[in-house]
Amino acid sequence: MMADRLNQVVGQAIAVTLENMAFMEIAPVQADTEVPTSDNGMMARMLVLEPFQGEVQLAATTALLRNVIEVVHAFPDEAVVEAMLSDMLGELLNTIGGRLLTEYLPESQSYRLGLPEVGWDLPDCSEGQSRAWNLQIEDQGLVLTLVGDGFFAG
């Protein structure tokens, strides 16, 4: 039951964020989806500081990030550089993570998040249970991972 609810909340958080920010729809990952790796994508992570210790991670292909940037910036007046890719991935993570916790935690429950940290290949230093959701947007992969027992308690 808890896993079903987490599935629903994660799916909604990603769907609403991509729709509102970039007018894009998510779909289940397919066999030909380009999955983000350290060669073709970037990764971001954000600590959950309260009410439990955890982490939300988001990985996306640079092709997907470029597509989102083109929508958000309409007509970018400069070349899409690494700083723009990092900023976009960090903001996607911040928005998805906040939405996810708002929906998942009880209504009166406060939470506190760290600032997103973005890189090409961040080291894995998280502890606790984890679970990943693989999705695609316009044939490009997006992977959200939740780390920390607090996400799976109950």
Partner 1 sequence: MEKKVLIVDDSNTMRKIVARSLRQAGFEFEKVLEAPDGQAALDLLAGEAVDIVLSDINMPVMDGIEFLRQKNADAQIKGIPVVMITTEAGTDVLREAMELGAVGTIKKPFTAEQVQEVLGKFL
Question: Residue 140 Cβ, how far from partner 1 at the closest point, in Å?
Answer: 17
Minimum distance between the CB of residue 99 and partner 1, rounded to whole angstroms?
6
Q: Does 5 bind partner 1 (CB under 8 A)?
A: no
**Alpha carbon distance, N-terminus to C-terminus of the chain:** 10
Using a 10 angstrom Cβ sphere, with 0-12 exposed, 13-18 middle and 19 or more buried, the burial of residue 144 is: buried
Q: Assess 63 for contact with partner 1 (CB under 8 A).
A: no
Q: Establish if 107 lies at the interface with partner 1 (CB under 8 A).
A: yes
Is 142 exposed, middle or buried, given 0-12, 13-18 or 19+ CB atoms closer than 10 A?
Answer: buried
* Contact between residue 67 and residue 147 where contact means Cβ atoms under 8 Å apart: no
Per the listing, tokens 């007046």 go with 77
Ordered alpha helix ranges (H), 73-143? 82-104
Does residue 29 bind partner 1 (CB under 8 A)? no
80 makes contact with partner 1 (CB under 8 A): no
- Under rule CB under 8 A, residue 3 binds partner 1: no
**Between the CA of residue 62 and those of 8, 14, 43, what are the distances in Å?**
26, 17, 10
Please tell me whether residue 74 binds partner 1 under the rule CB under 8 A. yes
**Which one of 2-10, 33-41, 86-94, 137-145 is the stretch in contact with partner 1 (CB under 8 A)?**
86-94
Considering only residues 53, 80, 98, 131, which one is a binding residue for partner 1 as defined by CB under 8 A? 98
With binding defined as CB under 8 A, does residue 113 bind partner 1?
Answer: yes
Q: Is residue 99 within 8 Å of 10, Cβ to Cβ?
A: no
Binding site for partner 1 (CB under 8 A): 16-17, 19-21, 69, 72-74, 84, 87-88, 90-91, 94-95, 97-99, 102, 107-113, 115
